[in-house]
């Protein structure tokens, strides 16, 4: 790769060396003329607020330094953002700008409703406009996602109640096994002699491992048996909060889908109309207003 680069540089140098001084002046003049034309076209596009030409020249023909110099205080960003926002609201008057992340990135919602959230993403510098992927997935599969999550939380809450009922039985059983192991341990230690020490140590180690495992199981059941139930209460409260959050999320999705049906007809029609808006905006064409 380095050899190819060196060869390219060598070839370019030889071509320049082969040019006469007049040829070099002509090439330089042509380059400067092209640069000046780009700047003049860009200036004209800005004065006339020709958004399509601004995007085409700014993102395609101006070099990095010229782009930075022309946008030092976000003048171009502000122009592009205001123009696409104006067109977007003209076409979809029920869309509301909800959040501004920086000079070019914005989030929108459909209509206004309780507990609203951003659902549509706009980057005016590219431009780019689309429904947030996680939101689109929820809209396309509203029942499957929410029902499964809520059902899973209900199962967890039922399990907590079941553990409270079964805790005493489980701990009694574990205590009985621990008692048996303790008795077995005492018998082995009493019969420990010089010649069977190795075998006895192995048996005691096996008992200690079983005791440790049973004690760990006992500790897991113990919070469900205590009178204050503080840990169980905290666990249940956390599940209840999560359960309510999921129900609220389901209600929000349901409300959003009603608004989508009202303004667009369906989720897929919304996707199509947003895409069509962006294509028409970049082409400088009029787009049918009012969503539907």
Give the pLDDT band of residue 5 (cuts 50, 70, 90). Answer: very low
φ/ψ region of 271 (left if φ > 0, alpha if ψ in -120 to 50, else beta) reads alpha
| Percent of the residues in the chain that have a pLDDT greater than 90, as a whole number | 33
Residue 63 covered by a domain: yes
Residue 179 covered by a domain: yes
pLDDT tens, 191-212?
776 556 777 788 888 999 999 9
Residue 216 covered by a domain: yes
* Domain match, 149 and 238 both: yes
Element (H, E) at 12: helix 2-18
Domain count within the chain: 2
pLDDT at 90: 94
Average pLDDT of the segment spanning 172-191 = 88
Q: What is the DSSP letter of 83?
A: H
* Domain match, 148 and 62 both: no
Per DSSP bridges, beta strands 95-100 and 128-131 are unpaired
Residue 165 covered by a domain: yes
Residue 118 covered by a domain: no
Yes or no: say if 126 and 133 are a contact pair by the CB < 8 Å rule: no
Residue 263 covered by a domain: no
* Domain match, 66 and 157 both: no
Phi, psi torsion values for 13, nearest 5 degrees: -60, -40
pLDDT tens, 135-152?
999 999 887 656 677 777
Residue 100, CB-side half-sphere exposure with 13 Å CA sphere = 9
The boundaries of the domain holding residue 227 are 142-254
Distance CA 144, CA 151 (A): 11
């Amino acid at each position: 790769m380095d050899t190819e680069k060196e060869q390219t540089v060598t070839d370019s140098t030889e071509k320049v060396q082969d040019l006469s001084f007049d040829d070099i002046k002509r090439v330089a003049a042509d380059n400067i003329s092209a640069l000046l034309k780009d700047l003049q076209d860009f200036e004209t596009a800005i004065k006339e607020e020709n958004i399509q030409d601004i995007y085409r020249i700014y993102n395609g023909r101006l070099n990095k330094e010229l782009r930075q110099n022309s946008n030092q205080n976000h003048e171009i960003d502000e122009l592009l953002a205001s123009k696409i926002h104006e067109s977007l609201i003209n076409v979809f008057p029920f869309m509301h700008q909800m959040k501004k992340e920086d000079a070019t990135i914005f989030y929108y919602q459909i209509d206004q409703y309780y507990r609203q959230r951003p659902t549509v993403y706009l980057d005016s510098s590219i431009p780019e406009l689309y429904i947030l992927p996680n939101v689109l997935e929820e809209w396309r599969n509203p029942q499957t996602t929410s029902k499964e999550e809520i059902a899973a939380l209900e199962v967890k809450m039922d399990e907590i109640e079941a553990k409270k009922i079964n805790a005493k039985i489980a701990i009694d059983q574990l205590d009985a096994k621990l008692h048996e192991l303790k008795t077995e341990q005492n018998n082995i230690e009493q019969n420990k002699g010089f010649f069977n020490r190795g075998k006895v140590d192995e048996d005691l180690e096996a008992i200690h491992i079983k005791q440790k495992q049973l004690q760990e199981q006992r500790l897991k059941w113990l919070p469900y048996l205590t009178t204050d139930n503080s840990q169980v209460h905290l666990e249940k409260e956390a599940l209840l909060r999560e359960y309510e959050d999921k129900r609220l999320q389901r209600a929000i999705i349901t409300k959003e889908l009603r608004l989508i049906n009202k303004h667009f007809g369906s989720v897929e029609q919304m996707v199509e109309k947003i895409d069509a808006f962006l294509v028409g905006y970049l082409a400088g064409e009029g787009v049918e207003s009012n969503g539907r």
